[in-house]
Amino acid sequence: MSTETKITPRAQDYNQWYLDVIAAAQLADYAPVKGCMVIRPDGYAIWENIQRVLDGMFKDTGHQNAYFPLLIPESFFKKEAQHVEGFAPECAVVTHGGGEKLEEPLYLRPTSETIIWSMFRSWISSHRDLPLLINQWANVVRWEMRTRLFLRTTEFLWQEGHTAHASDAEAEEECRRMLEVYRVFAEEHMAIPVIPGRKSEKEKFAGALRTYSIEAMMQDGRALQAGTSHHLGQNFAKAFDVTFQDEKGQRQLVWATSWGVSTRLIGALIMAHSDDKGLVLPPRLASRQVAIVPIPGKQADPERMTGEARRLADELGLGRAVVVDDRPNLSPGAKYHYWEQHGVPLRLELGPRDLEKQQVVLVRRDTGEKRSLPRGGLREAVRQELEAMQREMFEKARAFRESRTYSVDTEEQFRKTIEEPGGFLRAHYCGDTECEVRIQNETKATVRCIPLDAPAEKGRCPFCGKESGRRAIFAKAY
């Protein structure tokens, strides 16, 4: 594997920069099948950390994992009218199995509401069976014309929560609870500030009453939807005839939610934090938090230095999160470069003079800051540095977002600002889908969400002039 890959600067070509960062950090490759990706070990390790943290949060909120089939009969999709309209055009279809043509075509799941609600029917009969709180970690397939690694691929990995409730209010509560789980995860683990809000009618999930999302800003000012939570009402219960007997003995239709995040989050991590030197990862999601580079001086014995580096690694007590770079064929400089491109949060350099002075040199990946630390108390110093980096990356991303968020009140302001400098526009929104389509066609901006905390404020849609009760966030989006 090559240890050096050229990275195009962001200012020169943002899209190429994104692909170069992924290639240099060896996170993913395009697969030989159109639109599919291979997630390489260093990319998959990020996903494993995302899974580990989120899975714990799901279990802490009472959810259990299960697994439902990849293959869904075509007829299932047709049971919920909006759902089939939204998803059928992007489905991959299995027509043959075991050498024979199938009687009914099978869709590869683009999402699992239909197959799951067909099972919920036999699992739910009484109010005592509710709430039913299920999550699934799985691959899904959506046929995409224009793909981009992590952000939009034909197959991707995700989790999908599917829950069943006895009342509208309980479903709404669940839906908002999981949106909050996503917000906490994005901000505290991914170090990405997000805006939780409600999607417009046009942008809601096919088959939902309403959709909530968290929206993040990337370094080019574009928005990225980082997670969604849907209140599905009774639509799937109706389609699959799922009822329960309430405490009074009455049959009632069940209320539903679904919510999900995907490997797209890895794309968000890259675009939110990385720089022209390569990947920058928040410490909490980095599988390797510290890289130790031993520097054999002119007189020094390389094996002795490697041994010292290993001892240092043990002192840190971080297990597999510390790597000692003992590759004999690479110079220290080449190793620095390698770990910078791979986004390892902290680098420790250890040379003969450091040994003499009982110190190590610490370099922060995000700031490039370099300083010497005494060997004594290093374990605690490294722990604190990782925490500081996590916090400061979030603050930096938040400051950037603030600096690129604009309140606009006129069509002219809107059109100018979305073009240059671009970012999040806080503008009044009339709620009219036709107007929304026009704005998108003419400016490429979409309603990202109506923030949950948007204050009531009388105003008018800058485009159609209709009255509006609060501002939405508009942006160009991934």
Binding positions for a copy of itself, rule: CB under 8 A: 1, 29, 31-33, 36-41, 43-45, 47-48, 59, 64-73, 76, 89-99, 105-106, 108, 115, 118-119, 122-123, 125, 128-129, 134, 138-139, 141, 143-145, 154-155, 157, 320, 329
Q: Taking the complex as a whole, how short is the minimal distance between the CB of residue 133 and a copy of itself, in angstroms?
A: 9
Q: Is 42 helix (H, G, I), strand (E, B) or coil?
A: helix
- Of the pair 81, 94, the CB lying nearest a copy of itself is at 94
Q: Taking the complex as a whole, how short is the minimal distance between the CB of residue 158 and a copy of itself, in angstroms?
A: 12
Q: Which residues contact 471 (CB under 8 A, 6 or more apart)?
A: 407, 426, 427, 428, 429, 450, 451, 454, 457, 459
Q: What CA–CA distance (Å, rounded) separates 283 from 345?
A: 6
- Of the pair 183, 335, the CB lying nearest a copy of itself is at 335
Q: Taking the complex as a whole, how short is the minimal distance between the CB of residue 347 and a copy of itself, in angstroms?
A: 21
Longest dimension (CA), the chain: 86
Q: What CA–CA distance (Å, rounded) separates 106 from 91?
A: 10
Give the residue ranges of DSSP H helices in 290-421: 302-316, 332-341, 352-356, 378-403, 411-419
- Of the pair 44, 255, the CB lying nearest a copy of itself is at 44
Instruction: Tell me the C-alpha to C-alpha distance, in Å, between residue 199 and each of 68, 162, 339.
Output: 28, 19, 39
- If we measure between CA atoms, which residue out of 258, 194, 259 comes closest to residue 224? 194
Residue matched to tokens 């050498």: 99
Torsion angle of the four alpha carbons 79, 80, 85, 88, in this order, in degrees rounded to the nearest 10: -50
- If we measure between CA atoms, which residue out of 274, 277, 245, 221 comes closest to residue 401? 221
Q: Taking the complex as a whole, how short is the minimal distance between the CB of residue 339 and a copy of itself, in angstroms?
A: 17
Q: Taking the complex as a whole, how short is the minimal distance between the CB of residue 279 and a copy of itself, in angstroms?
A: 17
- Of the pair 104, 356, the CB lying nearest a copy of itself is at 104
Exposed/middle/buried for residue 377 (C-beta within 10 Å: 0-12, 13-18, 19+): exposed
- Of the pair 31, 253, the CB lying nearest a copy of itself is at 31
- Of the pair 136, 200, the CB lying nearest a copy of itself is at 136
- Of the pair 33, 399, the CB lying nearest a copy of itself is at 33
Q: Taking the complex as a whole, how short is the minimal distance between the CB of residue 230 and a copy of itself, in angstroms?
A: 21
Q: Taking the complex as a whole, how short is the minimal distance between the CB of residue 47 and a copy of itself, in angstroms?
A: 8
Please work out, in degrees rounded to the nearest 5, the angle formed at the alpha carbon of residue 181 by the alpha carbons of 66 and 399.
140
- Of the pair 108, 218, the CB lying nearest a copy of itself is at 108
Q: Taking the complex as a whole, how short is the minimal distance between the CB of residue 134 and a copy of itself, in angstroms?
A: 7
